[in-house]
Amino acid sequence: MSKVTVTIPDDFILGAAASAWQTEGWSGKKPGQDSYLDAWYKNDRHVWHNGYGPAGATDFINRFREDVALMKAAGLTHYRTSINWSRFLTDYENVIVDEEYATYYDSLIDELHANGIEPMLCLEHYELPAALLQQYGGWGSKKVVELYVRYAEKAFARFAGKVTRWFTFNEPIVVQTRVYLDALRWPYEQNTGKWMQWNHHKNLATAKVIKLFREKGYQGTVGTILNPEVTYPRSTAPHDVKAAEIYDLFFNRVFLDPAIKGEYPAKLLALLATHRVNWDYNEEEMRLIAENHVDEVGINLYYPHRVKAPSRAWHPETPFHPAYYYEHFELPGRRMNKSRGWEIQPQIIYDMAMRMKNDYGNVPWFIAENGMGIENEAQFKNADGEIQDDYRIDFIGEHLYQALKAREAGANCQGYMLWAFTDNVSPMNAFKNRYGLIEIDLENQRARRMKKSARWYRTLRDARQLTLSLDDEMK
């Protein structure tokens, strides 16, 4: 181990992220304003850890001024959250803005600016209105794509003067993968065609919203926030390498390529045809995707993903699933975050950065999420009651180091944003794993308290330097 000090460039983002539904809580929510998450929570509460969920969340909607003060104390340069589509409107068909909710966003944005923190807004972080899921089947419907574009138009009209960095989605692949590909979440339906239809419609929606933003002449950028899993094959053998390539096509390139290059990989289209995955698209939609690329990409990176060639035959009656081509592989001896069950390998940041540089035209991008969810953090409180989360400081330091190293090697990496600013609600895991720089004390009216990592994060901003101890092989 030896000590290393790296300079953090002045324009490098040092931020944190969250989303509307994971923080705001239901205070002030009107009948009919449920999101997909709200409907899932209402229908299937027993799968949410200890019954916590979007209803209470962190009550950010009432406490945002206190939280923005803490953001300033923790040294954040940027804060990313979403607008909750299901609450921003009272009528999704006629796009009627909920004035009360919009006013809250005006105040939040003003408060961030007043404290020197740049807001970044995402238009959908899984907050599809539940009514549109029930009525049209959600993102399976072209009508929902149109309604989303009209919602985006209202959001831009209201806030584009004050917010210049916009994102169409956060992790657009997640909901349909959990619901339609793996049937792990409500409303539980295995349907590979629907999975691909949702993927395509979200790509189409991104293109349409970019087009709209540019046509209206707003100042600023529109990007998307993706979660490509850096996927390593078990071995260098061709069968393992093929498993990793196919995984990459189905789960990473299905969003990266349309967003940045304006097209689906030909190999992915061929695989969908081979397996008769039914999805509906046309020439005009492909043209829109081809003509409207993102300005920047946010990338959420938490863990490496490893695969090997499948070792068993596919049952003939099982519908097609990309796992036909791969199996997950666990590296013996891997470093783990046991609370979340995710491997820790900071090199994913460097490897993703090189991929963005070499395969995606060095488009501007930043780490939009990275972080460490830990169970029972109260056990790490010192005598004064402050959580001593040195494990989080090490985790952030090691990942940030890889980003800075990649930048020195020519990667167009614009910054690092931690998930999350405060502890908040995760799908199903709710408050089980704590991610925040700021503790939310559920036993004590959701009191906020800085963790040791928040004070440390502040020093990064003040000194514009990262100092950490590294194994020689990590340098």
Nearest-CA neighbor of 56 among 6, 21, 89? 21
Q: Is 426 in the site for ligand BGP (CB under 6 A)?
A: yes
Token couple for 336: 């783990």
Distances (CA, A) of 325 to 31, 275, 279, 308: 45, 12, 20, 9
Hey, what amino acid is at 229?
E
> Minimum distance between the CB of residue 433 and ligand BGP, rounded to whole angstroms?
5
Query: E strands along 277-392, which residues?
Result: 297-300, 305-308, 327-328, 336-337, 342-343, 365-369, 374-375
75-134: contacts with ligand BGP (CB under 6 A): none
Query: Residues binding ligand BGP: what is the number (CB under 6 A)?
Result: 14
Site string for ligand BGP, 184-223 (x = CB under 6 A): ----------------------------------------
> Minimum distance between the CB of residue 146 and ligand BGP, rounded to whole angstroms?
25
Q: Is 433 in the site for ligand BGP (CB under 6 A)?
A: yes
Site string for ligand BGP, 348-367 (x = CB under 6 A): --------------------
Our answer to whether residue 369 is catalytic in this structure is: yes
- Residues 203, 207: Cα–Cα separation, whole Å: 6
> Minimum distance between the CB of residue 432 and ligand BGP, rounded to whole angstroms?
8
Site string for ligand BGP, 392-421 (x = CB under 6 A): ---------------------------x--
Nearest-CA neighbor of 95 among 86, 104, 103? 86
> Out of 229, 369, 377, 398, which one is annotated catalytic?
369
- Residues 64, 66: Cα–Cα separation, whole Å: 5
Q: Is 339 in the site for ligand BGP (CB under 6 A)?
A: no
Number of H helices, E strands in the chain: 16, 21
Nearer to ligand BGP, 392 or 405 (CB): 392
> Minimum distance between the CB of residue 342 and ligand BGP, rounded to whole angstroms?
9
Nearer to ligand BGP, 86 or 433 (CB): 433
Nearer to ligand BGP, 192 or 370 (CB): 370
- Residues 323, 71: Cα–Cα separation, whole Å: 42
Our answer to whether residue 153 is catalytic in this structure is: no
Q: Is 429 in the site for ligand BGP (CB under 6 A)?
A: yes
Q: Is 453 in the site for ligand BGP (CB under 6 A)?
A: no
Per the listing, tokens 């009948």 go with 31
Q: Is 171 in the site for ligand BGP (CB under 6 A)?
A: yes
Nearer to ligand BGP, 68 or 368 (CB): 368
Site string for ligand BGP, 225-244 (x = CB under 6 A): --x-----------------
Q: Which of 369, 389, 423, 439 binds ligand BGP (CB under 6 A)?
A: 369
Query: E strands along 271-380, which residues?
Result: 297-300, 305-308, 327-328, 336-337, 342-343, 365-369, 374-375
Q: Is 300 in the site for ligand BGP (CB under 6 A)?
A: yes
Q: Which of 13, 19, 147, 294 binds ligand BGP (CB under 6 A)?
A: 19
> Minimum distance between the CB of residue 99 and ligand BGP, rounded to whole angstroms?
27
Which residue, judged by CB position, is nearest to ligand BGP in the bound state? 426
- Reduced to 3 states, what is the DSSP secondary structure of residue 415? strand
At a CB cut-off of 8 Å and minimum separation 6, what does 103 contact? Answer: none
> Minimum distance between the CB of residue 425 and ligand BGP, rounded to whole angstroms?
8
Token couple for 80: 């990313």
> Out of 124, 171, 229, 296, which one is annotated catalytic?
171
Q: To the nearest 10°, report the CA torsion of 88, 90, 96, 102.
A: -30
> Minimum distance between the CB of residue 18 and ligand BGP, rounded to whole angstroms?
8
> Minimum distance between the CB of residue 110 and ligand BGP, rounded to whole angstroms?
25
- Residues 270, 124: Cα–Cα separation, whole Å: 30
Q: Which of 140, 233, 258, 373 binds ligand BGP (CB under 6 A)?
A: 373
β-strand pairing of 118-122 with 165-170: parallel
Hey, what amino acid is at 379?
Q
Q: Which residues of 410-440 are buried (b: 16+ CB within 10 A; e: fewer)?
A: ebbbbbbbbbbbbbbbbbbbbbbbbbbbbbb
DSSP label at 420?
Answer: -
- Site residues, ligand BGP (CB under 6 A): 19, 22, 170-171, 227, 300, 340, 369, 373, 419, 426-427, 429, 433
Which residues are part of the catalytic machinery? 171, 369
